[in-house]
Amino acid sequence: MSPKEVLELIEKKQIKVIDIRFMDFPGVWQHFTVPRGELNELSFEEGFGFDGSSIRGWQPINLSDMLVVPDADTARIDPFFKASTLVLIGNIVDPITLEPYSRDPRYITQKAETYLESTGIGDIAYFGPEAEFFIFDNIRFDSKSNAAFYEIDSVEGIWNSGRIEEPNLGYKPRHKEGYFPVPPMDKFQDLRTEMLLVLEDLGIDIECQHHEVATAGQAEIDMRFKPLLQMADQLMWFKYVLKNVAHKHGHTVTFMPKPLFEDNGTGMHTHVSIWKNGAPLFAGNKYAGVSQDALYAIGGILKHCNALCAFTNPTTNSYKRLVPGFEAPVNLAYSSSNRSAAIRIPMYSSSPKAKRIEFRTPDPSCNGYLAFSAILMAVLDGIQNKIDPGEPLDKNIYDLPPEELAEVESTPGSLEESLAALNEDREFLLKGEVFTQDAIDMWIEYKTEHEVNPIKLRPHPHEFFLYYDI
């Protein structure tokens, strides 16, 4: 869509205000709203000013002025605001040099797409994330110098099977049994369908929605695969729609990877394929019907997985899900069937167009722009350097003898470990200046100072249970 077409849409739909949105460094949508009269064709070149020092991980206060330049192709009408509102996602620009901002996650994604084309390997990378989430009825938490707690509640929570609900009608999914019984056990069918329909109204193609494995409203809505930048934009709309539909009905949605103890965490299995001249590059006659390039791509992800986790699993809570010995995909191996492997080759279809690799380690707490871009860079590095992924792991990981299990490497055990891995293994991300040293350094610094250290310094409530009487 051109700027002129956006202005025509505004007139046709009688839009009252324009909402400008962009992604902060950690991965949260930010916005401000301007009157209809403030947007003209020049706005798509000159942008709008804002204070970059107030955005996490960005500018110091003495260099705070920044511009956000709307991208006309991103125009969508907001489904929730009372006044008719057109949303435009913007790119961040330095107001003096007019150069794109190196820490703008969207710019990093744009550079990743450009780099893909420059390699000659392919001309389009498709991504299909399966972002799981929880629907809760109530959430309370606090963290102070003398106290810390959280408390989650859900009408579906199995812990409420004995609660006085006047009446308690039962039908609460037991731990790990939420995949996927019909109502009345599944109490959020209508809510998920409303989410699906709102997403479709926004032009986002949806494949299915369903309850997920855990008790207490774990769910999944799958988007159809799209090109890298488009999918990163869509992931932001996805989170925004789910949270607002739930909020409208008195519920709350979280993409936190591990909100519940003793039940499944929330992952974001991410499907990846590369195409060139309209043909899929990952279909072939090798293992599980993939090509040699697909195997090299797998090798790239496995080689760089520890560093990738700093972007694909970027919270301290992510590593409550990625724990060896359970069902999480922590094993640095690939398989056509083993879901505990970090990479799976889906076998649902024999069509060459459906051939892709599924990176199962990521979770939806990530900044999609950064995570998807980093995954693509690992894939390209694998193909460029012909990285051998080794033999597939088709055995049941839980039945392996100790000597075999010891040979299977695992993902990092903490955010601190993944950040250390990123610090040591970053060269593949710097190709084509997709990521910059500055952006990587700031990511490590921000995550360490604002997340890793604050968690390390605080007593954990369970420590009182374990140690208070020592």
Q: Band the pLDDT of 350: cuts 50, 70, 90.
A: confident
Residue type at 19 in one-letter notation: D
451 is catalytic: no
CA distances from 279 to 147, 275, 375 (A): 58, 5, 21
Query: Would you call 182 helix, strand, or coil by DSSP?
Result: coil
360 is catalytic: yes
**Taking residues 60-65, what's their average pLDDT?**
72
5 is catalytic: no
358 is catalytic: yes
The string of pLDDT tens digits covering residues 286-311 is 999 999 999 999 999 999 999 999 99
Integer Cα distance of 58 and 92 in angstroms: 11
The DSSP letter of residue 426 is: -
The string of pLDDT tens digits covering residues 74-128 is 999 999 999 999 999 999 999 889 999 999 999 999 999 999 999 999 999 999 9
Q: CA angle, 239 as apex, 229 and 35 as ends, to 5°?
A: 80
Query: Would you call 199 helix, strand, or coil by DSSP?
Result: helix
Of residues 71, 156, 212, 222, which has the active-site annotation? 212
Integer Cα distance of 112 and 108 in angstroms: 6
Of residues 269, 271, 304, 321, which has the active-site annotation? 269
What b/e sequence results for 322-341 when a residue is b if at least 16 CB atoms lie within 10 Å of its CB, and e otherwise? Answer: beeeebbbbbbbbbeebebb
Please state the φ and ψ torsions of residue 253, each to the nearest 5 degrees: -110, 140
Of residues 224, 247, 339, 450, which has the active-site annotation? 339
Q: For position 185, what pLDDT does the model report?
A: 94
Would the pLDDT of 63 be above 80? no
130 is catalytic: yes
Bridge partners of 20, per DSSP, are 32, 88
Of residues 360, 363, 381, 426, which has the active-site annotation? 360
Q: Which residue has the tokens 């125009």?
A: 75
Of residues 132, 137, 222, 233, which has the active-site annotation? 132
Integer Cα distance of 241 and 203 in angstroms: 13
194 is catalytic: no
**Taking residues 179-197, what's their average pLDDT?**
96
Q: What is the DSSP string of 214-257?
A: STTTEEEEEEPPEEHHHHHHHHHHHHHHHHHHHHHTT-EEE--S
11 is catalytic: no
Of residues 24, 220, 222, 451, which has the active-site annotation? 220
Query: Would you call 100 helix, strand, or coil by DSSP?
Result: strand
Say if CB 136 and CB 156 are below 8 A apart: no
Q: What is the DSSP string of 251-306?
A: -EEE--S--STTS----EEEEEEEEETTEESSBSSSGGGB-HHHHHHHHHHHHHHH
**Taking residues 364-377, what's their average pLDDT?**
98
220 is catalytic: yes
Of residues 358, 363, 381, 451, which has the active-site annotation? 358
Bridge partners of 177, per DSSP, are none
Of residues 5, 38, 51, 165, which has the active-site annotation? 51
Integer Cα distance of 370 and 319 in angstroms: 19
Q: Band the pLDDT of 407: cuts 50, 70, 90.
A: confident
Q: For position 62, what pLDDT does the model report?
A: 67
